[in-house]
């Protein structure tokens, strides 16, 4: 499963959420993606942790996390953004999840059986688990969630994986069986928290109008307390959590759209955890104060940032099918010209301060599905101008801007407020494209408005956004031509029959070598057609106050997969214990 991430450089609990979600809708059956490299912790900060590593865990204290994006809705199957999944992932569980070593383990499911032909999965649910309102969790909740997510009336981007199920059955109160019509590689991993719903609270109601969207009920390590729009979301520990009461009593998400303001709040001690921007990581935290009071981390982020083009000018309202292509971006020579005009290494060096690498496609390096041999676009403005000329763009009136059919080549790049890395990236692209005769405007929008009113409604020409990737390489929901309706993820309206066929082939076999061939070919096609300009793969650079212990970050999994085991020693606690 993919999640739109408003601040890729923060990817804190990225993969806690994705493992808990299906780990990102694009997760797959028995194949896993591995990222090489290790987590780095600053030595000065690590000394603080080492000095106290023999202090016993204790209940109490509050963890305050700063985030630039406000959640849109807290029912996972209705949410497509990282902020929503970050919060919902601590409240709502799935049947399965990934452990630190990328082993698929049970969550609400105690165990499961897979038929010899791989077409049926029987989940044996844990007994005695209760929703936080006291109702018992049963297989009926799984069935209700399944029926809801495949309902055409449910506005979700995650339905396709569940539509592969030919038959779903409640065998008894604690046993749920899903039988697939065809082999489906991501089958097991899809059963994360995107699908389980409280039947007793939602049955007979319109899920899109349910109060659970803003006041969720779950079974996870934390319970919802309150949501103050534009300010914070407050959670408290679930003392009856089936994996054990979390040590940290309260979890607060503070919504601070400006990273500079958030950094000042960190320095003042008003927040405990945030994702550092590159300049904050490299320049502003190398002081005695931060080395004494905080721990910085750096690890490869399974994510990438891109500039996507709206390839469609007009669509059918109900189906999302393109009925008129965009007059500028429909020609791949134009998209390739723009790629040649952008210096990706300049962005990595100047904007990321070296904390990342240029992207070449929709998969990240050091993963089994990554193709290192695709077409690359080194900075070459002369080649860019040549391609634009071939595509019919010329400066006919001498004003420095290319024209075609009486219209100047100008467009607007949209991106989200509070993400200076993306804003600075857009500014550099604006400058580089001006040098080849393309006029670009840059517009920033508040995150939820950006997603709900512009991306989901296809009201853009070009966007700078990012995808957080799951542990499986299935990218059906991003690239398949059928996934273009509102709230679905192919919002650029990419359409290639061969890619459609390869996406289908990749998810219909359990043979990793065959899947690899399919995904390698997909990357070759995308590198040639460029519906996105793949810009960079960032490093995750979170920082956490040193009083918090039990943190065990790992590549791919990130920071928060074991959040219920984080603790603050009694003598170091800052906030009053909740009874």
Instruction: Flag whether pLDDT at 90 surpasses 80.
Output: yes
Burial 230-246 (b: 16+ CB within 10 A, else e): eebbbbbbbeebbeeeb
Q: What integer is the mean pLDDT of 386-397?
A: 96
- pLDDT single digits (tens) 352-368: 999 999 999 999 988 88
Instruction: Flag whether pLDDT at 573 surpasses 60.
Output: yes
- Per domain, the residue ranges of the chain are 303-539
More confident residue, 223 or 6: 223
Instruction: Enter the DSSP assignment of 394.
Output: B
- Can you read off the two tokens belonging to residue 331? 């020609």
Separation CA 348–CA 344 (nearest Å): 6
- Can you read off the two tokens belonging to residue 72? 């849109």
What confidence tier does 9 reach under pLDDT thresholds 50, 70, 90? Answer: very low
Single pTM value for the model: 0.80
Q: What integer is the mean pLDDT of 259-267?
A: 95
Q: What is the dihedral of CA 259, 260, 265, 267, to 10 degrees?
A: 120
Q: Which of 350, 275, 3 is nearest to 158 (CA)?
A: 3
Instruction: Flag whether pLDDT at 458 surpasses 70.
Output: yes
Q: What integer is the mean pLDDT of 89-108?
A: 90
CA R_g for the chain: 24
Separation CA 12–CA 17 (nearest Å): 10
Sequence-ordered list of residues with C-beta below 8 angstroms from that of 574, at least 6 positions apart, any chain: 61, 62, 547, 568
Put residue 48 in one of left, alpha, beta given phi > 0 → left and psi -120 to 50 → alpha: alpha
Residue 443 CA, chain-centre distance (Å), reads: 22
Sequence-ordered list of residues with C-beta below 8 angstroms from that of 257, at least 6 positions apart, any chain: 68, 69, 417, 418, 446, 447
- pLDDT single digits (tens) 439-453: 999 999 998 899 989
Sequence-ordered list of residues with C-beta below 8 angstroms from that of 135, at least 6 positions apart, any chain: 198, 200, 201
Q: What integer is the mean pLDDT of 240-258?
A: 96
What confidence tier does 429 reach under pLDDT thresholds 50, 70, 90? Answer: very high
Neighbours of 297 (CB within 10 A): 24
Helix axes 512-529, 497-507, angle to 10 degrees: 160
What DSSP string runs through 164-188? TEEEEEEEETTEEEEEESS--TTTG
- pLDDT single digits (tens) 474-522: 999 999 999 998 889 999 999 999 999 999 999 999 899 999 999 999 9
Name which of 113-117, 262-266, 316-320, 416-420 the model is least confident about: 316-320
What confidence tier does 575 reach under pLDDT thresholds 50, 70, 90? Answer: confident
- pLDDT single digits (tens) 192-208: 878 999 999 999 999 99
Burial classification of residue 571, based on how many CB atoms lie within 10 Å of its CB (0-12 exposed, 13-18 middle, 19 or more buried): exposed
**Does the domain formed by 303-539 have CATH 3.10.105.10?**
yes
Name which of 6-20, 357-371, 424-438, 478-492 the model is least confident about: 6-20
Cα angle at 444 between 13 and 425, to 5 degrees? 70
pLDDT recorded at residue 37: 36
Separation CA 354–CA 346 (nearest Å): 10
């Amino acid at each position: 499963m993919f999640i739109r991430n408003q601040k890729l450089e923060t990817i804190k609990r990225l993969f806690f959420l994705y493992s808990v979600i299906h780990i990102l809708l694009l997760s797959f059956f028995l194949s896993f993606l591995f990222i090489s490299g290790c987590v780095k912790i600053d030595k000065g900060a690590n000394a603080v942790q080492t000095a106290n590593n023999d202090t016993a865990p204790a209940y109490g204290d509050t963890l305050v996390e700063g985030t630039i994006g406000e959640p849109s809705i807290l029912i996972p199957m209705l949410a497509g953004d990282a902020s929503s999944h970050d919060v919902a992932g601590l409240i709502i569980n799935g049947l399965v999840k990934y452990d630190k070593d990328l082993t698929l383990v049970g969550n609400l499911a105690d165990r499961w059986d897979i038929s010899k032909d791989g077409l049926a999965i029987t989940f044996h649910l844990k007994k005695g688990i209760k929703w936080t309102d006291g109702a018992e969790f049963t297989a009926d909740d799984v069935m209700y969630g399944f029926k809801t997510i495949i309902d055409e009336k449910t506005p979700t981007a995650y339905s396709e994986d569940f539509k592969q199920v030919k038959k779903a059955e409640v065998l008894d109160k604690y046993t749920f069986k899903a039988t697939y019509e065809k082999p489906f590689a991501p089958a097991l991993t899809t059963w994360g928290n995107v699908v389980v719903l409280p039947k007793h609270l939602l049955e007979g109601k319109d899920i899109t109008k349910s109060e659970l969207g803003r006041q969720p009920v779950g079974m996870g390590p934390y319970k919802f307390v309150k949501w103050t729009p534009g300010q914070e979301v407050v959670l408290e520990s679930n003392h009856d959590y089936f994996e054990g009461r979390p040590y940290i009593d309260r979890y607060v998400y503070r919504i601070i759209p400006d990273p500079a303001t958030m950094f000042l709040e960190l320095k003042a001690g008003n927040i405990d955890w945030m994702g550092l921007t590159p300049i904050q990581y490299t320049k502003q935290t190398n002081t005695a104060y931060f080395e004494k009071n905080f721990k910085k981390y750096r690890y490869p982020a399974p994510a990438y940032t891109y500039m996507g083009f709206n390839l469609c000018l007009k669509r059918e309202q109900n189906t999302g099918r393109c009925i008129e292509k965009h007059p500028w971006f429909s020609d791949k020579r134009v998209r390739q010209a723009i790629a040649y005009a952008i210096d990706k290494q300049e962005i990595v060096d100047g904007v990321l301060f070296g904390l990342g690498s240029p992207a070449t496609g929709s998969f990240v390096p050091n993963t089994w599905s990554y193709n290192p041999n695709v077409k690359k676009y080194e900075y070459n403005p002369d080649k860019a101008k040549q391609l634009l000329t071939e595509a019919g763009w010329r400066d006919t009136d001498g004003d420095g801007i290319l024209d075609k059919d009486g219209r100047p080549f100008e467009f607007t790049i949209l991106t989200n407020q509070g993400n200076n890395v993306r804003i600075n990236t857009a500014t550099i692209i604006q400058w580089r494209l001006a040098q080849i005769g393309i006029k670009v405007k840059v517009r920033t929008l508040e995150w939820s408005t950006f997603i709900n009113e512009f991306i989901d409604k296809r009201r853009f020409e070009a966007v700078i956004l990012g995808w957080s990737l799951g542990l499986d390489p299935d990218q059906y929901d991003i690239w398949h031509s059928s996934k273009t309706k509102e709230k679905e993820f192919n919002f650029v309206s990419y359409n290639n029959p061969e890619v459609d066929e390869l996406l289908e082939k990749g998810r219909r076999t359990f043979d990793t070598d065959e899947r690899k061939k399919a995904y390698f070919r997909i990357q070759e096609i995308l590198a040639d057609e460029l519906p996105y300009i793949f810009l960079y793969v960032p490093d995750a650079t979170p920082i956490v106050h040193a009083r918090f212990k039990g943190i065990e970050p790992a590549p791919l999994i990130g920071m928060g997969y074991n959040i219920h085991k984080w603790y603050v020693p009694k003598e170091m606690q800052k906030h009053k214990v909740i009874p």
